[in-house]
Amino acid sequence: MLLVLLIALLLGLEARHTDLETAYLNSSMKDGMIYMELPAYFNDGTDRVCLLLNRIYGLNQAARIWYQTLHAGLVQIGFHRCAFNGVLYVKYIDGRIVLVTVYVDDTMVIGKPGNIDAVIEELRQTFVMMDLGRVKHLLSKQIHYEPGVMLCLSQTAYIDRHLVEFGKSTVGTVGSPQIHNEKMLPLEKDKTKVNDPEDSCSRPDIANIVRCLERRAGSYTKEKFSCAKRVLPYLAGTRTHGLVCRSRKLQLYGYSDAEHANCPDTSRSISGHVLKFNQWGFGFKSKKQNTVTDGTCKSELVAASTCIENLL
pLDDT of residue 182: 66
C-beta of residue 200 within 8 angstroms of C-beta of residue 162: yes
**Domains delineated in the chain:** 2-26+62-154 (3.30.70), 157-237 (no CATH), 249-311 (no CATH)
Mean pLDDT of the chain: 84
Span 213-237, mean pLDDT?
78
Span 86-111, mean pLDDT?
94
pLDDT of residue 183: 61
pLDDT of residue 202: 56
Greater confidence (299 vs 39) lies with: 299
d(C-alpha 304, C-alpha 266), whole Å: 21
pLDDT of residue 189: 47
Could you tell me the pLDDT band of residue 55, with boundaries at 50, 70 and 90? confident
Could you tell me the pLDDT band of residue 200, with boundaries at 50, 70 and 90? very low
pTM: 0.77
Chain-centre distance for alpha carbon 52 = 32
Span 108-121, mean pLDDT?
96
273: Cβ contacts below 8 Å, ≥ 6 apart: 254, 255, 256, 257, 284, 285, 303, 306, 307, 310
Identify the weakest region by mean pLDDT among 128-132, 203-207, 290-294, 296-300.
203-207
